[in-house]
């Protein structure tokens, strides 16, 4: 009997219609287009503006896009995982609401939260379920409404983040394609440098906290940048070494879209040509859990069966890692 591997067999995506450009930000905070582009590579980002619509709206849209394109029957989906740092509500899982909305009535579902590494860690989880043989179809969605926790008077964060969602379907494969290896890490001492302090169980929201803007996300940019550059590059090198891969073997680097300079540093560390590096940060900014699947969504037509992909991400907490996967179909 052939070994079962977990392969991505379908991709979907969604970004909101409203575009927040650098020029628009110039009227909101003390910044300018040249400064933003030179330091982050971001030109614009998408924002979900409609009242009452949260991360589940984005997740449902991305999932429905995948379903419409692939023709998969939602009733055949065994599990729905929503990787997110911005769930709709506390206690009530965003994934459960999403699964019901798309008609995945036979699936169990849950949220997975590891900041910008959420989707990467979700890939590990979904692949393990498939490889176990217990489940056949797992829908993994990365979705975040980052605008819900951004202070648009704080130029350290408002220039970076956008909203969006991407989805992939994992299924069993017996051709040796799909998920091969992972190297995932975390360091809890990093949470002081990137988080939204108020709103969790340690610091419940108070009127005073809201008045002072303490419920918004905080980032120590220099510390986060330094750790992201070194750690994302390190794990990408590690995954190549463990699998005896050279730069010539790699078809694509699928790197978290936090900052163009971090992406470039990771690519340079593994000596990968720029044409093999997926990027969409200029159009979307940092969509947190959605960056990796949105890259697959944007580049799907360029992917070929057998392409070797290296994923890398770094997020708050700190969390980071790399995954090696072979693409399983021609689009």
Catalytically active residues are: 116, 256, 286
The strands making up 178-186's β-sheet, listed across from edge to edge, are 178-186, 319-326, 308-315, 252-255
The alpha carbon dihedral of 282, 267, 195, 37 has a sign of: negative
Helical H segments across the chain, by residue range:
22-26, 33-40, 55-70, 94-101, 118-132, 155-158, 207-211, 221-242, 260-269, 281-284, 291-299
Q: Do 289 and 307 contact (CB within 8 A), yes or no?
A: no
The upper half-sphere exposure of residue 226, i.e. CA atoms within 13 Å in the direction of its Cβ, equals 6
Spatial neighbors of 93 by CB under 8 A, at least 6 apart, are 82, 87, 109, 110, 111
Long-range contacts (CB closer than 8 Å, 24 or more residues apart) made by 217-225 = 217/146, 217/149, 217/150, 217/151, 217/157, 217/161, 218/157, 218/194, 219/156, 219/157, 219/160, 219/193, 219/194, 220/192, 220/193, 220/194, 221/156, 223/193, 224/193, 224/194, 224/316, 225/259, 225/261, 225/262
Sequence-ordered list of residues with C-beta below 8 angstroms from that of 11, at least 6 positions apart, any chain:
66, 69, 166, 167, 168, 169, 293, 296, 297, 300
Q: Which of 225, 239, 280, 232 is nearest to 257 (CA)?
A: 280
């Amino acid at each position: 009997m052939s070994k079962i591997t977990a392969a991505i067999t379908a991709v979907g995506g969604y970004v909101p219609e409203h575009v927040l450009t650098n020029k628009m930000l110039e009227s909101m905070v003390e910044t300018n287009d040249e400064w933003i582009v030179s330091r982050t590579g971001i030109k614009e980002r998408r924002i979900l503006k409609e009242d009452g619509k949260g991360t589940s709206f984005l997740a449902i849209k991305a999932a429905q896009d995948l379903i419409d394109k692939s023709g998969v029957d939602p009733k055949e989906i065994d599990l729905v995982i929503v990787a997110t740092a911005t769930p709709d509500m506390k206690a009530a899982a965003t994934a459960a609401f999403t699964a019901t909305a798309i008609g995945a009535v036979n699936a169990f579902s849950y949220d997975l939260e590891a900041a910008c590494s959420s989707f990467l860690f979700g890939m590990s989880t979904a692949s393990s379920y498939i490889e176990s043989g217990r489940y056949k179809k797992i829908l993994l969605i990365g979705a975040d409404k980052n605008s819900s926790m951004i202070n648009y008077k704080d130029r350290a964060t408002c220039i970076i983040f956008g909203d969006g969602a991407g989805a992939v379907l994992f299924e069993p494969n017996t051709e040796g394609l799909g998920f091969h290896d992972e190297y995932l890490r975390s360091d809890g001492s990093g949470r002081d440098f990137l988080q939204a302090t108020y709103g969790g169980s340690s610091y419940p929201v108070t009127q005073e906290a809201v008045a002072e803007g303490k419920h918004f996300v905080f980032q120590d940019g220099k510390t986060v940048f330094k750790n992201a550059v070194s750690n994302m590059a390190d794990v990408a090198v590690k995954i190549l070494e463990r699998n005896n891969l050279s730069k010539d073997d790699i078809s694509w680097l699928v790197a978290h879209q936090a900052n163009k300079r971090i992406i470039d540093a990771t690519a340079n560390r593994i000596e990968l040509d720029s044409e093999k590096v997926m990027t969409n940060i200029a159009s979307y900014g940092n969509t947190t859990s959605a960056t990796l699947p949105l890259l697959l969504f944007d580049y799907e037509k360029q992917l070929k069966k057998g392409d070797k992909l290296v994923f890398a991400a770094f997020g708050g907490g700190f969390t980071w890692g790399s995954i090696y996967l072979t693409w399983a179909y021609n689009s």
